[in-house]
Amino acid sequence: MSALRRKLRIERIRKLFTLLIGFVYLFPMYIAVSNSFKPYGEIINSPLSLPLHATMDN
Amino acid sequence: MKHNKLHDFLLAMPGFLIYTVFMIVPLGMCFFYSFTNWDGISPKYKMIGLKNFRRLFADGDFYNALKITLIITVITVLLYNVLGALLAVFLNRKNRACAFTKSAIFVPAVLSSVVVAFIWSYMMQTDGGVINAVLGLFGMPPFDFYATPLRTIVMISVIIAWNGLGLFVVIYMATLSTIPTEMLEAAEVDGANGFQRFFRVTLPLMMPGITINSILSIAGGLKQYDHVKVITGGGPGGATQTITLLSVEKAFEYNRRGYSSAIILVLFVMIVVLSVIQLSITKRREVKY
């Protein structure tokens, strides 16, 4: 029983790791999309956050 | 149906004409102009023999560009093939996480190289750049990616690899799907561990994919133009210039079309020689079963 449980846990860690690779790979896309909705000051001050004062002026 | 020579010839004509007009004639013109001192505009020029090539092999800019191009080629080939093969093996199973990551890796491959280079060039800034913000979260000091030409070139190679990796992973996964699963099962029954199964069974059977991928990546690395053009423009002072950038600069800024043709001819010969060497090495290692 414990061997099966261990196998399931390895499988779950593997899935999480896979998802992590995917998200890290898409990180520049997230930056490009989120910064395109920020006013200029917010890009400089908080480059990583989601746009707080979203603007369509860009 | 009647089968004769004229019929064959007419059917082959459209493809042959397009290939001639867009490939063979420009190549011949490039070959011809590399022996002249044409400036690209004036109707008059004269043959100067091998002078362009003699000047080229004494040109420090050319050797610098060659060095930069080779650095880019080596790094991108390694990243494409090692990372591509590992990711293909790792993602070669059916669940939702793997499906998501497969598509995530393919997303940059459909973007224009100019877009990719622009996104990364502002992520790489020292002040207000995103990469340094992330490093700051982990308490690391900011890193100046533009401090030395080598750093910038290494970073540009990583960007190129990020952009093109999706295609290579797809090719490797296609090759993986041709490997019969009985082989891996047989190896497992015989007591081979994961590493042995990868290096002794999977890798030799992936050799056709490695052949095509290394040709694509070597040729792509030697022809590299757009990412470097957008990120540094070859500057400062030609420190990060690749061979293609150098030849375009010589042709359109210095008006030395003959000289730039000579550069391109040398690059052409280099790509052909490297591809032939590489093909003969990897073809020999492909296994039959």
Give B14-73 as a DSSP string. Answer: HHHHHHIIIIIHHHHHHHHHTTB---SS-S---B-TTHHHHHHTT-HHHHHHHHHHHHHH
**ipTM given for this complex:** 0.79
Scan residues 112-171 of B and list those with Cβ closer than 8 Å to A. Answer: 116, 119-120, 123, 128-130, 133-134, 137, 162
Q: Which of B146, B135, B164 is nearest to B226 (CA)?
A: B164
Q: Which residues of B touch A47 (CB under 8 A)?
A: 128-130, 133
Q: Is the dihedral of CA B156, B84, B219, B200 positive or negative?
A: positive
The confidence band for B56, taking pLDDT boundaries of 50, 70 and 90, is: confident
The confidence band for B288, taking pLDDT boundaries of 50, 70 and 90, is: low
User: How confident is the model over B245-271, as pLDDT tens digits?
Assistant: 888 888 888 888 888 898 899 999 999
Q: Which of B81, B96, B106, B169 is nearest to A18 (CA)?
A: B96
- Which range (B3-12, B140-149, B181-190, B272-281) has the least confidence? B140-149
Taking residue B206's Cβ as centre, other Cβ atoms within 10 Å add up to 21
State which residue of chain A sits closest to B90, comparing Cα positions: A18
Q: Is the dihedral of CA B270, B278, B199, B183 positive or negative?
A: positive
Q: What is the pLDDT of residue B237?
A: 77
Q: For testing the chain B interface, which of A24, A25, A42, A44 should be mutated: the one with the most B CBs within 10 Å?
A: A25
Q: Which helix (H) or strand (E) holds B190?
A: none
Scan residues 23-52 of A and list those with Cβ closer than 8 Å to B. Answer: 23, 25-26, 28-29, 31-32, 43-44, 47-48
Tell me the mean pLDDT in the region B63-87.
Answer: 91
Q: What is the pLDDT of residue B125?
A: 80
Tell me the mean pLDDT in the region B113-131.
Answer: 83
Bridge partners of residue B36, in order along the sequence = B47
For residues B172 and B104, give the distance between their C-alpha atoms in angstroms, rounded to a whole number.
Answer: 16
Query: Residue A30: pLDDT above 70?
Result: yes
User: How confident is the model over B202-232, as pLDDT tens digits?
Assistant: 888 888 888 889 889 998 888 888 888 888 8
Q: Which of B101, B123, B133 sits opposite A18 (nearest CB)?
A: B101
**Would the CB atoms of B107 and A43 count as touching at under 8 Å?**
no
| Chain centroid offset of residue B119 CA | 20
| Contacts with B226 (C-beta within 8 Å, 6 or more apart), sequence order | B113, B114, B117
- Whether the CB-CB separation of B143 and B132 falls below 8 Å is answered with yes
The residue with greater pLDDT, B39 or B212, is B212
Q: What is the pLDDT of residue B2?
A: 62
How far does the CA of residue A1 sit from the closest CA of chain B (Å)? 22
Taking the alpha carbons at both ends of chain B, their separation in whole angstroms is: 40
| Contacts with B72 (C-beta within 8 Å, 6 or more apart), sequence order | B153, B156, B157, B160, B221, B224, B228, B242
Tokens of B255: 């008006």
Tell me the mean pLDDT in the region B76-96.
Answer: 89
pTM comes to 0.83
The confidence band for B78, taking pLDDT boundaries of 50, 70 and 90, is: very high
Q: Which residues of A touch B95 (CB under 8 A)?
A: 15
